[in-house]
Amino acid sequence: MLDAAKWLQGSALGHFMRESGVWTYAIVNLAHILGVASLFGSVLVLDLRLVGLGRRIPLAALADATVPVAVTGFLIAAATGVGLLVTKATEYVGNPFLAIKFPAILLALINVLVISRSDAWQARGQRELSPREHRRLAVMGGLSLACWLTAIAAGRLIAYW
Amino acid sequence: MRTISRRRFGTLIAATFGVVALLSARSVSAHHGWGGYLDAEFEITGTVESSVSLAGPHASMTIKGTDGHVWNLVLAPPPRSQQAGLKDGMIPVGAKVTAHGHRHRDNDRYEVKTERLTWGDKVFNVYPDRS
């Protein structure tokens, strides 16, 4: 683990993060937060709809509006997150919040995969969903919220260890 | 339908906030802010092990204290540390410095949130409003 962290820290990106000016970390940090905000803001709206709030809004329309924002937000957060991590990677070895954050993200992504492949999700906008399908989507929406909230909470707390 | 979803929504919110609360309860120490450090003023003198790094959320350096321990000196964020006159790698390894600030609450951690760093006749007030 420490070797991996040393390698990350010594990478070209690590050098760039440390040596390209005193504001670099702050700016990348800002982009990370904007990415997380876009991701979570859109996911929150979509997941609450999946859970059962605001059923008047067609799921297909809501998905069209939120999914691209969530994907873009995630990509920005992930890319900038790597930069933040490699700056002083060795300092994070043994930080328990990282050990919570990354599995939570992994679980959230697996959940995304499961939702997007489900019949209920693919049938959105094409036919009425059965009560069972509604329940399934609700469970996955709830799981999604729990995963992202855990990831964000643990992410924030990395700095407080 | 509506009442069921409301109830489910309530449970969900309670559960997620529970997770967050559980996580927060664990953390008392802090890199950011002063909460993770003792209130008492603290001072340690030593020789530089790794020089000033103006990178990451906070500038930092390590010294070998006169007590034999290697101390991690957490300075102000990089722009503020730079404003105080510090530059990347400016204090050579082996140089004698004194850090004044607050020690980490965890006794096993040799870490000082540094307000003022003294190197010879140079004084770097990285938190001038505090020291």
Q: pLDDT tens-digit profile of A9-58?
A: 999 999 999 999 999 999 999 999 999 999 999 999 999 999 999 999 99
Residue A1 has pLDDT above 60, yes or no: yes
| φ, ψ (nearest 5 deg) of residue B121 | -95, 5
Contact status of A16 with chain B (Cβ, < 8 Å): no
Of A18, A138, A159, the CB nearest to B53: A18
Question: What is the structure's pLDDT at B40?
Answer: 94
Which residues of B fall within a CB distance of 8 Å from A161?
27, 29, 31
- Within 8 A of A24 by CB-CB distance, chain B residues are 55
Per-residue pLDDT at B29: 47
Identify the pLDDT of residue B17. 66
For testing contact with chain A, the best of B1, B7, B23 (most A CBs within 10 A) = B23
Q: Could you tell me the CA-to-CA distances from A130 to A38, A124, B56 in Å, in that order?
A: 31, 11, 51
Mean pLDDT, all residues of chain B = 86
Give pLDDT tens digits for A63-119: 999 999 999 999 999 999 999 999 999 989 999 999 999 999 999 999 999 999 999
Interface with A, mutate which of B4, B11, B12 (most A CBs under 10 A) = B12
pLDDT computed for residue A72 by the predictor: 98
pLDDT of residue B26: 46
Chain B residues lying within 8 Å of A149, measured CB to CB = 16, 19-20
pLDDT of residue B27: 44
Q: Do A160 and B12 touch (CB under 8 A)?
A: no
Is the pLDDT score of B1 beyond 70? no
Size of the A and B interface in Cβ pairs below 8 Å: 87
Instruction: Characterize B42-75 residue by residue with b for buried, 16 or more Cβ atoms within 10 angstroms of its Cβ, and e for exposed.
Output: bebebebeebbbbbbbbbbbbbebeeeeebbbbb
- pLDDT value of position B6: 63
Residues B63/B97, Cβ–Cβ less than 8 Å:
yes
Pairing of strands B70-74, B111-119: parallel
Q: Quick check: B78 contacting A, CB < 8 Å?
A: yes
Residues B10-38 pLDDT 10s: 666 666 666 666 655 544 444 567 888 99
Better-predicted residue by pLDDT, A144 or B9: A144
Euclidean distance between CA atoms B123 and B86, whole angstroms: 10
Query: Could you tell me which residues are beta bridge partners of residue B103?
Result: B112
A153 touches chain B (CB under 8 A): yes
pLDDT at B99: 97
Name which of B27, B55, B79 is nearest A18 (Cβ-Cβ): B55
Which residues of B fall within a CB distance of 8 Å from A22?
Answer: 54, 78-79, 81-82
- The single-letter code of the amino acid at B94 is G
